[in-house]
C-alpha cells in the first residue's frame, strides 16, 4: 500500500507547485494589464502573459486530475489489502483458548466439510478427573467441595481441586429401579477440576488420560490428613 501512497504524495506536491505557478501567472497578467494602457508594456507582452496564465491553469487542472487518480489507486489498494487481510483471517486456524496440540486430524491437501476438524487440542486450562460414587456418598457431595487428586504418574504430588459437577442421573444401572439393593448399586459421576491459576505456565506438564485417585471432603470442618496436604506445584 506504500507503493500507492507515494504517487499520491508526489501528485499532491505537484499540484501545490502548479497552484503557485497559477498565482504567479495571475500576478504578472494583472501587472501587465495595468501597464499596457499607460504605454509601459506592449499588447504583445499582454498576450504572452495571458498564454502563460492559460498554460498554468491547464497544468493545474492536469495536476488536480493526477491527484484524483492517485487517490483512487490508493483507495483500490487499501480495499485489496483489507480483502487480503479478511481472506487471511478466514483461512487461519485460531484456537478458542490456550492449549496444546495433541495430534493432527487432517493432512495438507485434504478437503474438509464445514466444521471439519484439523487438529485435536488439549485445553490445558481445564484439567479434571471424573470419579464415580455410590448413592450414599454422592448425596453428601456439593458443588465447590474441596478435593485432592493424586496421579499414579506423580504420587508425591497432591493436587488440590474442587467439585464442579455432580451428575443428577445414575450410571451403570437402569434409570428406574425398584429394590433397595439395586438402589445401593447406583453410581453417580462426580467431576473435580484443578484450579486454572495453578495450571498457568505449566501447560507442558498436562497430560490427558492419566489414571489416579481423587479424594473428596464432604465435611468442610474435616482436616485433610498429612498425606493429602496440598504439595507445591511441580
Do 132 and 222 reside in the same domain of the chain?
Answer: yes
- The per-residue pLDDT for range 130-168, each reduced to its tens digit, is 888 888 888 888 898 899 998 888 888 888 899 999 888
Do 74 and 117 reside in the same domain of the chain?
Answer: no
Max CA pair span of the chain: 131
Q: Kindly state whether residue 46 falls inside one of the protein's structural domains.
A: yes
Do 43 and 103 reside in the same domain of the chain?
Answer: no
Q: Kindly state whether residue 188 falls inside one of the protein's structural domains.
A: yes
Last residue of a domain, one of 90, 111, 140: 90
Domain count, the chain: 3
- Closest Cα partner for 136 from 163, 165, 170, 164? 170
Task: Say what the pTM is.
Answer: 0.54
User: Is the model more confident about 8 or about 67?
Assistant: 67
Q: Kindly state whether residue 234 falls inside one of the protein's structural domains.
A: no
Query: Domain limits at 186?
Result: 128-228
Do 74 and 164 reside in the same domain of the chain?
Answer: no
β partners of residue 103? 120
Contacts 24+ apart (CB under 8 A), 116-124: 118/93, 119/93, 121/95, 122/206, 122/208, 123/97, 123/98, 123/99, 124/98, 124/99, 124/100, 124/199, 124/202, 124/203, 124/206
Do 102 and 132 reside in the same domain of the chain?
Answer: no
Do 162 and 138 reside in the same domain of the chain?
Answer: yes
Amino acid at each position: 500500500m506504500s507503493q500507492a501512497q507515494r504517487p499520491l504524495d508526489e501528485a499532491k506536491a505537484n499540484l501545490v507547485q502548479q497552484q503557485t505557478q497559477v498565482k504567479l501567472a495571475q500576478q504578472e497578467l494583472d501587472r501587465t494589464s495595468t501597464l499596457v494602457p499607460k504605454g509601459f508594456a506592449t499588447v504583445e507582452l499582454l498576450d504572452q502573459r495571458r498564454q502563460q496564465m492559460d498554460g498554468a491553469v491547464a497544468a493545474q487542472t492536469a495536476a488536480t486530475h493526477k491527484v484524483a487518480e492517485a487517490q483512487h489507486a490508493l483507495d483500490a489498494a487499501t480495499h485489496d489489502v483489507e480483502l487480503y487481510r479478511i481472506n487471511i483471517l478466514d483461512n487461519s486456524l485460531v484456537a478458542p483458548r490456550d492449549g496444546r496440540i495433541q495430534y493432527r486430524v487432517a493432512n495438507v491437501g485434504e478437503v474438509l466439510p464445514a466444521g471439519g476438524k484439523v487438529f485435536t487440542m488439549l485445553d490445558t486450562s481445564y484439567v479434571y478427573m471424573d470419579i464415580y460414587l455410590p448413592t450414599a456418598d454422592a448425596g453428601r457431595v456439593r458443588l465447590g467441595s474441596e478435593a485432592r487428586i493424586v496421579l499414579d504418574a506423580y504420587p508425591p504430588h497432591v493436587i488440590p481441586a474442587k467439585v464442579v459437577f455432580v451428575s443428577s442421573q445414575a450410571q451403570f444401572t437402569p434409570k428406574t429401579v425398584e429394590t433397595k439393593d439395586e438402589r445401593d448399586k447406583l453410581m453417580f459421576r462426580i467431576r473435580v477440576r484443578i484450579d486454572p491459576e495453578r495450571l498457568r505456565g505449566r501447560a507442558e506438564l498436562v497430560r490427558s488420560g492419566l489414571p489416579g485417585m481423587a479424594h473428596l471432603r464432604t465435611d468442610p470442618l474435616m482436616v485433610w490428613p498429612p498425606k493429602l496436604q496440598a504439595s507445591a506445584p511441580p
